[in-house]
Structure formats: structure tokens, C-alpha cells
């Protein structure tokens, strides 16, 4: 948790602290807008970013409207990184409002292939453009750098694409994911995001998308903001992937509501032809309330509670059915037991079907009985998300209902809601779920973010802390690190380093402070003597101290640790009082010491990054 | 062929910061092309492309989620209005 950068007072309390050049062939990494070498983080002076989009305006411009205390749920402000990057507000009240929406980046992409960063590299195969989308007041803005040779740095070109300051990446978007499409001579970049294009920013939920068009990868100054046809209010929108039938882009809509609306699943396909407006086709729509089958009692979702939910990632049908993929659509039966639907996708025809005869060997209510849970059950500002996720371990697939509520204390007294139950998926049957483990969140889990590509390490936002959890095939999810403070923005760069912004420990909660948290850096160093006390009777006592270094995922790592013995009663075995050692991955490192006189001894440890 | 207007009301913030309603009307030319229902969006800001194929819908869905043929154009238009959250009046 090395502190890398402290607020420098330059841009009030609102600014982008890190901008990564997402091009693999460029080494740019900008901290406080100044270029650093991406790998070594060595600063390079006189190389400073300028967000001024006009080539005729020589003044400097920076993204600096994050709304640090309350609005940074609309992310991309402090960290512009190429891999998954998310943010949550620091609000401490439970009001149902925009500041308490859970960050949606972990479920927007069902393919698992989009990076979901805030600095996006969009390519047509030969040329690319970089897009930084960030919050600016109530709207999300963008800066685009058109195609540049890898030898040209971001600081050398103004981000001319995107037009003027009035250009918006989206309307109030909380997170934008970007894709590119070529049709004939026309090229479109489209993004989709949660929230409305207008200013009230209701979340029923409500997802919107925008299309950037014009010559690619140059300016693309035009932008149109649209709703998802047939899936407007009340649908959680997720990207299912590109059709192999006709190249169209498929989106899944999971509706929230009661009765039939609460189980409604829809798939829409967008095909571009001759206009920036694609042609839509409804590929699947099913809202029939299921009857009892398998171990499910069927009935209305959550016994007819209106609560927002979503689908899992898509994966190959474990039954081996040719050309078929499957995903789970979250669902709780009338006894509020977890029985997610299996949706099959025949990729050779783009036809879909729903299977509801799910069997759980242990009902979820045994471990997380939500029969007494209370919900928002409607409203314009939905903060609950019964988030469904799947991932693979060493040999099996797992599925878990990672239930969220962006309101920081809303579920503190509801242990059932805070308990995430994991099932393993049958090796050849996606409808056979076997109880594996559970993890109870210590307080209301506001949102989560994946911290590695394999989705076996995640971070969870709480009111005043941030927990890091690692997956273990035997024991399940375990908290391996707790950051005992708010984390506003967290994400990964292309080197898989984890960066986060927290309130400044020096300048107060409205100032940013940048930290680095990587798998190769320890978050905990422990130093323990062989004995707590020694009885010195005039003769030297030989002993040792145990030293270990633990990273964010809870693993021992080999790290260079500087040890300093303070006081005159103990030395290392070579009579020195300062020594740099390398910790072990296999267990405690024993460092030989000597007690040479009576008195108190303190051993301090430090590392360098 | 039938021309229809889809009406939707959204809330926007006016110049004084007040949230106000704004009505959006979109005109569609609806046809059955064989068994396929098509809705063509009438474009006003691009004279080169006066209309765009907005929806190409060969089927509707029954209660089991299976694809079945449209009955007629009127049925398809009613479905389209519902899907677009059309506001009467």
C-alpha cells in the first residue's frame, strides 16, 4: 500500500491523478499529468499532458470536476487506467440517490474480454484511438487521441478528437465501455453505460448508449445518444458479444419488476448497415413466471419483490452441446431461494431458450435466509443490485449471488443479504448446483470490482473501508486485506499493478492520495521475535526473529525488507543493527539475533518500491 | 404501410436548472415485408438518408419464448408501440 503521490494543491480538490497510455508500444504513464516511465515510474520532466482539445487554443486544460466527496461514483476522474477501473462515492448516508448507486462495471460485459478501463484503446485492426471518459460536473466527458505512432507521446498531441468541451462521452454515465464497428466505409465507435442521458439520472435501472461517428480514427466529432430499443427503463443491459451469424452486436436485458416483469429476459441484436443508427431485432423475450421444478419452488422472483438483478458471464455449455453457450439469469423462487435460470444461446442461429429446472443440493436459505429481508421494492433511484457472477477455479465453475447495496449502511443489520453463497456448477450440467461455501460481508457491500483477469481476486467497497478477497477452491472467498479507509477510485494498469485513490491522510478527506497495491508488493510485513521476553543474566543469548511479507491476496511473497534494531540490548548475529533481508514464499524467514544486554528492543521494518 | 408517431416524455434540466418534461416524437413507416415487420425511422437531419431501418422483426414470441409469425401489421404495430413505451395522447 505504498503511497506514491500526495495532493499537490494544483487543481483544487478535483483532478485526474493518473493517466495511462494504453498503447502497448508506448511507455507513457502520467502522474499528476507529468510523464513517468510506465515500468520504473521514473519521472520525465517537461512532458506534461494538456487536455485542451482545440489545436488553436494554446491554454492548458485538465479534467478536474470529479466531485470528490459525493459524485465520484461517476468514475474515470482520478484514475485513467486501461484495465477494469471503478469508483464509489464517499457518501455516508443511506439516501436513495445517484451517489449511492453501485458501480456497474463488473457486470456490464458478459464476454469477459472487454477491459472495462477508463482509458480505452479502440482499434479497427490497423489504427486506433484512445478515449478517456471522465465525469465533468453532472455529465461524463471524453478526450480522444486519434491515431499516433507509438513513438509519439500523449503529451505531444492535444486530444483533438471529440470536438469541444461540450462533447459528451455519455449522459451522466457511471461507466462507459467502448467497442468499434466497421461497415463499408463507415466506422463507428459506440459506448454503453448506465444512467439516463438527461440530468435527473434516474436508475430504474436505466442504460443508454452513444455512437461516435465520422472519419475514424480522426475526429469523429459527431455523437448521438440513444436508448436501447425495446429495453429502456427497468432493464439492466449487458453486452453478450458479437454474432457469428451476421456480425451484429448482442445485448441482454434483465428486467426488474414484479410478476412477469421480474423474470423477464430479453436479447436484442444491433446490426449496422447504412446509418449510425443500427437496425435492431428482438432475438429473445420470455417473461413467463416459472412453475416448480428441480429444487425450485418457482413463482415470482423473490416472492414478488421488485429488485434489480443481472446475468452472469457467458460460457460454453458444459453439456457439450455444439455451438451452444450458456449464461445464468439471476432468480430467487417464491421462498427466496437462489435458483438462477440457465439461458442457452445457439450461436449458429442466434436462438435462445430458458431452462428453470435448477437443482441446488443445499438451498441458499440455509445459509442466507432472506425471508425477512426488506427491499427498496421500486422507486426512481435503485441502489440494490442482486449481482450474479461466475468464474472458474482450478477445475470447476462457480456461481455466486454477490448481493450489493450502494447505500453504505442499508444492509448492516441484514446478515442474510450480506452473505454471499457460492455454488459449484456441475461439470457436465449447468443446472446442477452444489453448495460450496459462503462469505459474510462485514457491513453493507456497496459494490465490487475484479482485481485480476481470472476473477479470483476482488475488491469490495464498504462505508469506510475497502476489502480485498481472494478465491480458494477449498475454502471459498476469504478477505486477505482490509484497507481501513475509504477508497474512491481503484483499478489496474496494463502491467496489472493496482492503483487506488483514498482521502488524503495529510490534507483531509477532500484531497486525493495515490497508492500502489500490486501482487509483488507486500501489504503486511510481520516481525516477531522467537520469545516475547528474554531473561538476560550477563551472557549473550542467541535467538532469532521471524520475518514475513504478505501481498494483497494473502500470499507470502519474496520481498526485500530493511530491518533496523532500535535500542542497545539486541543486535543481529553479525553485531550489526541494520540489515536488508529477502522474505520467503515458503514460510517465515528466521533472521539470527543476539541479546547482549538488558533493556527494551524495537525492530522496525520497511520496504522500497 | 402505416406511418405512426411514437411519443415519449423525458425529463431534462432547463437553463435555470429546473427539471422539466420534454416530449420527443419520432415518426416511423411501418410495413410487413413478407412475414417480416419493419419499422423505418424517418430522419429529418440527413437528406441523404431520409429513413433508416430501425427495427427488422421477423417474429414475435409466445409465452414459452418460442418464435412465431406475426398475425398482421396491426398486431406488429401494437407490439412496437408497447416496446417503445409509446404514450398515447
Q: How many CB pairs under 8 A join A and B?
A: 62
Supply the DSSP string of A1-20, one letter for each residue.
-EEEEE--SSBTB----EEE
Residue percentage of chain A with pLDDT more than 90: 63
Contacts (Cβ under 8 Å, ≥6 apart) of A216: A124, A127, A129, A180, A187, A188, A189
C-alpha pair distances (Å), B10 with each of A197, A200, A227: 10, 10, 12
Query: A90: exposed, middle or buried (C-beta count within 10 Å: 0-12, 13-18, 19+)?
Result: buried
Examine the pLDDT at A21 and tell me if it is beyond 60.
yes
Given a contact cutoff of 8 angstroms between Cβ atoms, the answer to whether A350 and A243 are in contact is yes
Give me the residue spans of the domains in chain B.
2-83
Please classify residue A187 by burial: count the beta carbons closer than 10 Å to its beta carbon, then call 0-12 exposed, 13-18 middle and 19+ buried: buried
- The CA distances from residue A226 to A207, A591, B44, in Å, are 9, 64, 16
Give the pLDDT score at B32: 97
Copy the grid coordinates of residue A300.
415470482
Which residues in chain B are closer than 8 Å to A197, comparing Cβ atoms? 10
Beta-bridge mates of residue A30: A19, A35
- CB–CB contact A274 B52 (8 Å): yes
B45 CB-near residues (< 8 Å, 6+ apart) = none
Burial class of residue A473 (count of CB atoms within 10 Å of its CB; 0-12, 13-18, 19+): middle
CB–CB of B61 and A284 under 8 A? yes
Record: contact B55-A200, CB cut-off 8 A: no
What is the per-residue pLDDT for A9? 74
**Cell for B68?**
412465431
Confidence at residue A15, expressed as pLDDT on a 0 to 100 scale: 73
The 10 Å Cβ neighbour count of residue A456 is 20
Judged by CB atoms closer than 8 Å, whether chains meet at A200 and B43 is answered as no
Distance CA B26, CA B9 (A): 11
Partner-chain contact A285 B65, CB within 8 Å = yes
Give the residue from chain A lying closest to B14, CA to CA.
A199
Question: According to the model, what pLDDT value does residue A163 have?
Answer: 45
- Give the span between the Cα atoms of A507 and A519, in whole angstroms: 28
Q: For chain B, what percent of residues have pLDDT higher than 70?
A: 85
A284 and chain B in contact, CB less than 8 A: yes
Residue B79 reports pLDDT greater than 80? yes
The pLDDT value recorded for residue A460 is 98
Chain B interface includes A543 (CB < 8 A): no
| Residues in B touching A275 (Cβ below 8 Å) | 43, 46, 49, 52
pLDDT band at A233 (very low <50, low <70, confident <90, very high): confident
**Is B54 an interface residue toward A (CB < 8 Å)?**
yes
Q: Which residue among B13, B49, B83 sits closest to A274, beta carbon to beta carbon? A: B49
Instruction: Supply the pLDDT for residue A68.
Output: 53
Nearest by Cα to A607 from A529, A566, A550, A568: A550
Cell of B86: 409509446
Residue A386: pLDDT band by 50, 70, 90 thresholds? very high
What is the value of pTM for the model shown? 0.89
What pLDDT sits at residue A138? 62
CB contact under 8 A, A232 and B52: no
- Inter-chain CB proximity A281 and B67 less than 8 Å: no
- Give which of A52, A57, A70, A56 is closest to A14, Cα–Cα: A70
Q: Are the beta carbons of A285 and B13 separated by less than 8 Å?
A: no
Of A171 and B54, the one with more pLDDT: B54
Question: How many percent of chain A have pLDDT more than 70?
Answer: 92
Q: Does B19 touch chain A (CB under 8 A)?
A: yes
Q: Is A279 on the interface with B (CB under 8 A)?
A: yes
Flag the least confident range among A111-125, A243-257, A382-396, B53-67: A111-125
Instruction: For chain A, give the number of residues.
Output: 609
Q: Model confidence at A521, in pLDDT bands (50, 70, 90)? A: confident
Predicted local distance difference test score (pLDDT) of residue A553: 76
Chain B, nearest residue to A233 by Cα? B85
Chain A environment of B65 (Cβ under 8 Å): 284-286, 288, 352-354
Whole-number pLDDT of residue A259: 97
Identify the CA nearest to A327 among candidates A257, A386, A271, A254.
A254
Query: Which of A31, A38, A34, A35 has its CA nearest to residue A4?
Result: A31
Residues of B in contact with A198 (CB under 8 A): 10-13
Chain A residues within 8 A of B67 when measuring between CB atoms: 351
pLDDT digits (tens, 9 = 90+) for A352-364: 999 999 999 999 9
Contact criterion met (CB < 8 Å) for B49 and A233 = no
> What is the phi-psi region of residue A587: left when phi exceeds 0, alpha when psi lies from -120 to 50, beta otherwise?
left
Do A288 and B56 make contact, defined as CB atoms within 8 angstroms?
A: no
Q: Quick check: A351 contacting B, CB < 8 Å?
A: yes
pLDDT at A210: 79
CA distance B3 to chain A (A): 18
Pairwise pLDDT comparison (A466 vs A215), residue with the higher score: A466
Nearest Cα to A274, choosing from A342, A219, A213, A365? A213
Mean pLDDT, chain A, integer = 89
Residue A428 in contact with residue A466, Cβ under 8 Å? no
Contact B11 A199 (CB under 8 A): yes
A199 touches chain B (CB under 8 A): yes
C-alpha distances (whole Å) from A450 to each of A2, A85, A453, A492 are 20, 9, 7, 9
If residue B73 lies in a helix (H) or strand (E), which one and from where to where? helix B73-83
SS3 assignment, position A25: coil
Q: State the pLDDT at residue A604.
A: 87
For chain A, say whether B67 makes contact (Cβ under 8 Å): yes
User: Phi then psi for B76, rounded to 5 degrees?
Assistant: -65, -40
Q: Parallel, antiparallel, or unpaired: how do β-strands B36-42 and B19-33 relate?
A: antiparallel
Rounded to the nearest 10°, the torsion over CA A376, A381, A386, A387 is -170
The 10s digit of each residue's pLDDT in A216-226 is 766 566 777 77
Q: Long-range contacts: A240-244, Cβ < 8 Å, 24+?
A: A240/A110, A240/A111, A240/A267, A240/A314, A240/A327, A240/A345, A241/A110, A241/A111, A241/A314, A243/A269, A243/A347, A243/A350, A244/A347, A244/A348
Which is higher by pLDDT, A258 or A75? A258
What pLDDT, on the 0 to 100 scale, is given for residue A168? 56
- Contact assignment for A279 to B58 by CB distance below 8 Å: no
Residue A200 near chain B (CB below 8 Å): yes
User: A356 contacts in B (CB within 8 Å)?
Assistant: none
Q: Are A188 and A246 in contact (CB under 8 A)?
A: no
Asked if omega into A152 is within 30° of 0 (cis), the reply is no
Q: Do B52 and A286 touch (CB under 8 A)?
A: no
C-alpha cell at A236: 439492466
Q: Nearest CA to A95 among A308, A379, A447?
A: A379
Average pLDDT of the residues in A335-359 = 98
**Contact across the interface for A199 and B13, Cβ inside 8 Å:** yes
Question: In chain A, what residues touch B64 (CB-CB under 8 Å)?
Answer: 286, 288
**pLDDT at position A91:** 86
Instruction: Give mean pLDDT, residues A404-416.
Output: 97
Cα distance from A275 to chain B (closest Cα, Å)? 7
A277 phi/psi in degrees, rounded to 5: -90, 115
Q: What part of B 20-39 touches A (C-beta under 8 Å)?
A: none
Query: Helix, strand, or coil here: A47?
Result: strand
pLDDT (mean) for B26-53: 89
**Interchain contact A277–B (C-beta under 8 A):** yes
**Strands B36-42 vs B51-57: parallel, antiparallel or unpaired:** antiparallel
Q: Residues, chain B, total?
A: 89
Angle at A566 between CA A562 and CA A568, to 5 degrees: 135
A85 pLDDT above the threshold of 70: yes
**Cis peptide leading into residue A205 (ω within 30°):** yes
Q: Which residues on chain A are in Cβ contact (under 8 Å) with B83?
A: 229-230, 282
What is the third-level CATH fold of A524-606? Immunoglobulin-like (2.60.40)
Task: State yes or no: pLDDT of A135 exceeds 90.
Answer: no
Does B85 contact A280 at a Cβ distance shorter than 8 Å? Answer: no
Domain ranges of chain A: 524-606
Would the pLDDT of A522 be above 90? no
pLDDT tens by residue, A533-588 = 999 999 999 999 999 998 877 889 998 899 999 888 999 999 999 999 999 999 99
Amino acid at each position: 500500500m505504498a503511497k506514491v503521490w500526495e495532493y499537490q494543491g494544483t487543481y483544487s480538490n478535483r483532478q485526474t491523478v493518473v493517466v495511462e497510455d494504453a498503447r502497448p508500444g508506448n511507455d507513457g504513464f502520467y502522474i499528476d499529468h507529468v510523464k513517468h516511465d510506465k515500468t520504473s515510474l521514473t519521472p520525465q520532466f517537461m512532458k506534461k499532458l494538456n487536455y485542451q482539445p482545440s489545436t488553436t487554443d494554446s491554454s492548458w486544460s485538465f479534467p478536474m470536476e470529479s466531485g470528490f466527496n459525493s459524485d465520484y461514483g461517476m468514475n474515470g476522474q482520478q484514475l485513467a487506467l486501461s484495465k477494469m477501473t471503478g469508483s464509489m462515492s464517499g457518501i455516508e448516508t443511506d439516501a436513495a440517490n445517484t451517489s449511492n448507486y453501485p458501480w456497474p462495471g463488473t457486470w456490464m460485459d458478459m464476454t469477459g474480454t472487454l477491459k472495462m478501463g477508463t482509458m480505452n484503446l479502440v482499434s479497427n485492426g490497423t489504427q486506433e484511438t484512445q478515449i478517456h471518459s471522465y465525469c465533468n460536473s453532472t455529465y461524463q466527458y471524453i478526450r480522444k487521441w486519434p491515431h499516433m505512432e507509438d513513438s509519439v507521446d500523449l503529451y505531444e498531441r492535444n486530444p483533438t478528437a471529440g470536438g469541444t468541451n461540450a462533447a459528451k462521452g455519455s449522459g451522466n454515465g457511471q461507466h462507459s465501455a467502448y467497442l468499434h464497428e466497421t461497415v463499408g466505409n463507415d466506422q463507428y465507435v459506440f459506448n454503453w453505460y448506465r444512467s439516463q442521458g438527461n440530468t435527473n439520472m434516474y436508475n430504474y435501472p436505466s442504460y443508454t448508449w452513444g455512437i461516435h461517428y465520422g472519419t475514424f480514427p480522426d475526429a469523429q466529432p459527431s455523437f448521438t445518444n440513444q436508448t436501447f430499443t425495446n429495453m429502456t427503463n427497468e432493464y439492466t443491459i449487458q453486452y453478450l458479444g458479437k454474432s457469428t451469424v451476421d456480425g451484429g452486436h448482442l445485448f441482454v436485458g434483465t428486467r426488474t419488476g414484479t410478476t412477469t416483469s421480474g423474470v423477464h429476459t430479453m436479447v436484442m441484436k444491433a446490426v449496422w448497415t447504412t446509418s449510425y443508427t443500427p437496425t435492431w431485432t428482438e432475438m429473445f423475450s420470455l417473461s413467463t413466471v416459472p412453475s416448480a421444478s428441480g429444487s425450485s419452488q418457482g413463482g415470482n422472483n423473490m416472492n414478488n419483490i421488485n429488485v434489480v438483478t443481472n446475468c452472469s458471464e457467458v460460457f460454453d455449455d458444459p453439456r457439450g452441446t455444439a455451438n451452444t453457450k450458456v449464461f445464468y439469469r439471476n432468480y430467487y423462487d417464491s421462498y427466496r431461494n437462489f435458483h438462477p435460470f440457465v439461458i442457452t444461446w445457439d450461436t449458429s442461429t442466434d436462438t435462445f431458450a430458458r431452462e428453470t429446472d435448477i437443482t441446488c443440493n443445499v438451498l441458499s436459505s440455509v445459509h442466507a435466509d432472506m425471508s425477512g429481508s426488506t427491499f427498496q421494492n421500486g422507486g426512481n433511484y435503485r441502489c440494490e443490485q442482486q449481482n450474479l457472477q461466475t468464474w472458474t477455479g482450478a477445475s470447476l465453475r462457480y456461481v455466486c449471488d454477490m448481493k450489493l447495496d450502494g447505500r453504505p449502511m442499508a444492509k448492516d443489520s441484514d446478515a442474510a443479504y450480506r452473505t454471499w453463497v457460492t455454488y459449484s456448477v456441475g461439470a457436465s450440467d449447468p443446472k446442477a448446483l452444489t453448495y460450496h461455501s459462503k462469505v459474510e460481508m462485514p457491513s453493507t457491500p456497496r459494490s465490487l470490482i475484479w482485481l485480476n483477469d481470472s476473477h479470483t481476486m476482488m475488491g469490495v467497497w464498504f462505508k469506510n473501508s475497502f476489502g480485498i478477497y481472494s478465491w480458494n477452491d477449498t475454502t471459498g472467498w476469504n478477505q486477505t486485506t482490509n484497507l481501513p479507509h475509504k477508497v474512491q477510485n481503484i483499478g489496474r494498469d496494463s502491467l496489472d499493478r493496482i492503483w487506488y485513490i483514498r482521502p488524503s491522510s495529510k490534507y483531509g478527506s477532500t484531497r486525493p492520495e495515490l497508492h500502489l497495491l500490486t501482487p509483488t508488493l507486500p501489504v503486511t510485513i510481520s516481525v516477531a521475535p522467537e520469545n516475547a521476553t528474554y531473561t538476560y543474566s550477563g551472557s549473550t543469548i542467541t535467538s532469532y526473529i521471524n520475518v514475513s511479507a504478505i501481498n494483497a491476496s494473502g500470499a507470502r511473497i519474496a520481498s526485500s525488507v530493511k530491518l533496523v534494531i532500535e535500542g542497545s540490548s539486541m543486535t543481529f548475529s553479525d553485531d550489526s543493527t541494520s540489515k536488508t533481508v529477502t522474505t520467503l514464499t515458503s514460510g517465515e524467514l528466521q533472521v539470527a539475533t543476539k541479546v547482549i544486554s538488558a533493556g527494551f528492543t524495537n525492530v522496525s521494518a520497511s520496504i522500497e518500491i | 404501410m402505416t406511418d405512426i408517431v411514437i411519443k415519449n416524455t423525458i425529463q431534462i434540466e432547463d437553463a435555470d436548472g429546473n427539471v422539466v418534461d420534454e416530449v420527443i416524437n419520432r415518426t416511423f413507416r411501418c410495413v410487413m415485408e413478407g412475414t417480416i415487420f419493419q419499422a423505418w425511422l424517418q430522419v429529418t437531419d440527413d437528406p441523404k438518408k431520409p429513413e433508416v431501418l430501425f427495427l427488422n422483426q421477423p417474429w414475435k414470441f409466445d409465452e414459452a419464448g418460442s418464435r412465431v409469425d406475426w398475425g398482421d401489421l396491426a398486431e406488429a404495430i401494437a407490439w412496437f408501440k408497447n416496446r417503445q413505451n409509446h404514450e398515447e395522447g
